[in-house]
Amino acid sequence: MNKQSGFTLIELAIVLVIIGLLLGGVLKGQELINSAKVKNMASDFRNIQVQVYSYQDKFKALPGDDKAAINHVGATSNGDGDGVIEGVWNSTTQTDETYIFWQHLRLAGLATGSTTLGDATYQPTNTEGGVIGVQSNPNKTISGLSGSYAICSTGILGKFVKQLDATMDDGNTATGAMMAAEAVSGTAAATAVVSAGSSPSIVDSQKYVVCMAF
């Protein structure tokens, strides 16, 4: 009679160990990817502030609002020079200061990206593909957000929102200089969503807009 062949307990144990190691590696890899995404998003918020201040220091004007941007950097158009970056943060209107803001920065060599108005890649995006923008009057983005300007970034998963706020602010997405909301128009103040402790709260799998005042 032929003996039946099969796996021994040792062989099964080895297979299970290998599967465990593979799963652990996958999970760790995903954790590293997520961590890198949050770091990139945090860099977006930090870098834009530096770019604005650098432009001000060099030209004594705000990007987008610069009334001499044509002479300063060869821009398509000037701003009105009133000290306000007019328009909503996610504007696609090519005459809005919030839109030409990016052209001014890029032509000044302070940011990378297309300088052609209307180009498909003109508006900057975060690592999740959400639009990033800047506008004056942060309180018109999310209620209670105070400062001179606001940077807003959309399409950010709740789990990243909480990590961002813990990294850059007070850990509460409804208070401080960084807040989150389900939708932010830029013309009226949205309601902030808290990260934990009450309802409604941030849902890890849902996407939000994060705005930071400076």
pLDDT at 5: 60
- 3-class SS of residue 151: strand
User: Are the C-beta atoms of residues 132 and 44 closer than 8 Å to each other?
Assistant: yes
Question: In the chain, what are the domains?
Answer: 40-213 (3.30.1690)
* pLDDT for residue 199 is more than 80: no
The H-assigned helical ranges of the chain are: 9-59, 69-73, 97-107, 158-168
Summary mean pLDDT of the chain? 92
Is residue 21 pLDDT above 80, yes or no?
no
pLDDT at residue 31 greater than cutoff 90: no
Provide the pLDDT confidence category of residue 9 given band limits of 50, 70 and 90.
confident
* CA dist., res. 95 & res. 125, Å (int): 20
Tell me what pLDDT residue 7 has: 65
- Average pLDDT on 58-85 reads 98
Cis amide linkage into residue 124, ω under 30° from 0: no
> pTM here?
0.85
Residue 153 near residue 45, CB atoms below 8 Å: yes
pLDDT digits (tens, 9 = 90+) for 90-143: 999 999 999 999 999 999 999 999 999 999 999 999 999 999 999 999 999 999
Distance CA(91)–CA(123), nearest Å, equals 9
What residue has token string 């990590």? 163
